[in-house]
């Protein structure tokens, strides 16, 4: 029985090959070269498609659509999750197999260059978050960081303010330099867009921009408490790091920005 099943699978592969090349080569020649009969091929070709195969064929355009909408960034797990949100029930392994068969390979994440330069003159500052990024109310805990975005005219720098409750970007600023004024501008935008409760926490790394006098004054003006992670420990500001990872993967690495203005337009869409 096992031998017959193997022979059937091999014949099916040969018939599939003949079907794919039928417009390019003569059927008798292909059947002769592959050692199968024309009657067997016609029987295979005209056989009704199985429910499983029909299901896979129906899923192909949906998988391609989700992958394309992600900017070619989604792997099979995220495609599977997107299909689930569309109400399509399917296991992740068939999605993985379909993406492999369709040649859908997500773009790779590039390692980003760290911009944190610790201020050795800064005094002791507390970590009020302790890697707990799960507040009970909006804007009670905010995190931020700075990253570089490459363009053909030079790299602008993006400073962010992210609400840990909604995981939304509520404030940002972009400039060709990254002084303390950049992070202050991002905080000012956040304060204009969101009602930040007095005593809320803003957590960052120990870079010089986040330990400057101007930055501290901006925090005080908005009633925010300062919190910092340890130097070189990315997990202490994991939510900000994760946001930049997704930003680079989904909006930056597979695009070429011709100017800072174009990069700014991209940020407006976040």
Please give the full DSSP string across 122-143, using - where no structure is assigned.
Answer: ------SSTT----SSTTSEEE
Inform me whether the pLDDT recorded for 85 exceeds 90: no
**pLDDT per residue over 27-61, tens digit each?**
888 888 888 888 888 888 887 767 777 788 888 88
Inform me whether the pLDDT recorded for 187 exceeds 90: yes
CB 73 within 8 A of CB 246: no
231 falls in which pLDDT band (50, 70, 90)? confident
Neighbours of 251 (CB within 10 A): 17
Which tokens go with 253? Answer: 């690495």
Global pTM exceeds 0.75: no
C-alpha torsion angle, residues 16, 22, 25, 26 (rounded to 10): 100
Inform me whether the pLDDT recorded for 7 exceeds 60: no
* Averaged pLDDT score across all residues of the chain: 81
**pLDDT per residue over 239-253, tens digit each?**
888 888 777 777 666
The predicted pLDDT at position 3 comes to 37
The predicted pLDDT at position 2 comes to 35
Identify which has the larger pLDDT, 221 or 72: 221
The predicted pLDDT at position 99 comes to 86
User: What is the number of alpha carbons within 13 Å of residue 189 lying toward its C-beta?
Assistant: 19
Pick from 169-173, 208-212, 253-257, 261-265: least confident: 253-257
Give the C-alpha separation, 239 to 237, whole Å. 6
Identify which has the larger pLDDT, 231 or 145: 145
Identify which has the larger pLDDT, 139 or 176: 139
CB 215 within 8 A of CB 152: no
Inform me whether the pLDDT recorded for 265 exceeds 50: yes
Q: What is the three-class DSSP state of 177?
A: coil
The predicted pLDDT at position 124 comes to 73
Neighbour-count burial for 174-204, b at 16+ CB within 10 Å, e otherwise: beeebebbbbbbbbbbbbeebebeeebbbbb
Q: Which residues pair with 204 in a beta bridge?
A: 228
222 falls in which pLDDT band (50, 70, 90)? very high
Give the C-alpha separation, 230 to 199, whole Å. 22
Domains plus CATH for the chain? 2-102 (no CATH), 141-268 (3.30.420.10)
Inform me whether the pLDDT recorded for 148 exceeds 60: yes
Inform me whether the pLDDT recorded for 270 exceeds 70: no
User: Among the ranges 51-60, 93-102, 136-145, which has the highest mean pLDDT value?
Assistant: 136-145
């Amino acid at each position: 029985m096992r031998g017959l099943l193997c022979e059937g699978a091999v014949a099916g592969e040969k018939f599939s090959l003949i079907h794919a090349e039928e417009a390019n080569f003569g059927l008798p020649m292909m059947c002769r070269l592959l050692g199968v009969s024309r009657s067997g091929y016609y029987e295979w070709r005209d056989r009704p498609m199985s429910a499983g195969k029909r299901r896979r064929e129906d899923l192909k355009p949906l998988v391609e659509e989700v992958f394309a909408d992600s900017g070619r960034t989604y792997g099979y797990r995220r495609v599977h999750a997107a299909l689930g949100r569309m109400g399509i029930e399917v296991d992740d392994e068939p999605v993985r197999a379909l993406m492999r068969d369709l040649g859908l390979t997500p773009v790779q994440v590039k390692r980003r260059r760290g911009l944190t330069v610790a201020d050795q003159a800064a005094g002791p500052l507390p970590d009020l978050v302790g890697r707990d990024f799960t507040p009970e109310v909006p804007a009670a805990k905010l995190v931020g960081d700075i990253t570089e975005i490459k363009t053909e005219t030079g790299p602008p720098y993006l400073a962010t303010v992210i609400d840990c409750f909604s995981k939304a970007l509520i404030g940002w600023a972009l400039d060709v330099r990254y002084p303390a004024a950049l992070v202050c501008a991002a905080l000012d935008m956040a304060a204009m867009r969101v009602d930040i409760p007095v005593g809320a926490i803003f957590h960052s790394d120990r870079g010089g921009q986040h330990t400057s006098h101007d930055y501290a004054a901006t925090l005080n003006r908005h009633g925010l408490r300062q919190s910092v992670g340890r130097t070189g420990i990315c997990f202490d500001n994991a939510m900000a790091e994760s946001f930049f990872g997704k930003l680079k993967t989904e909006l930056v690495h597979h695009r070429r920005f011709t100017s800072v203005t174009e990069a700014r337009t991209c940020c407006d869409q976040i």
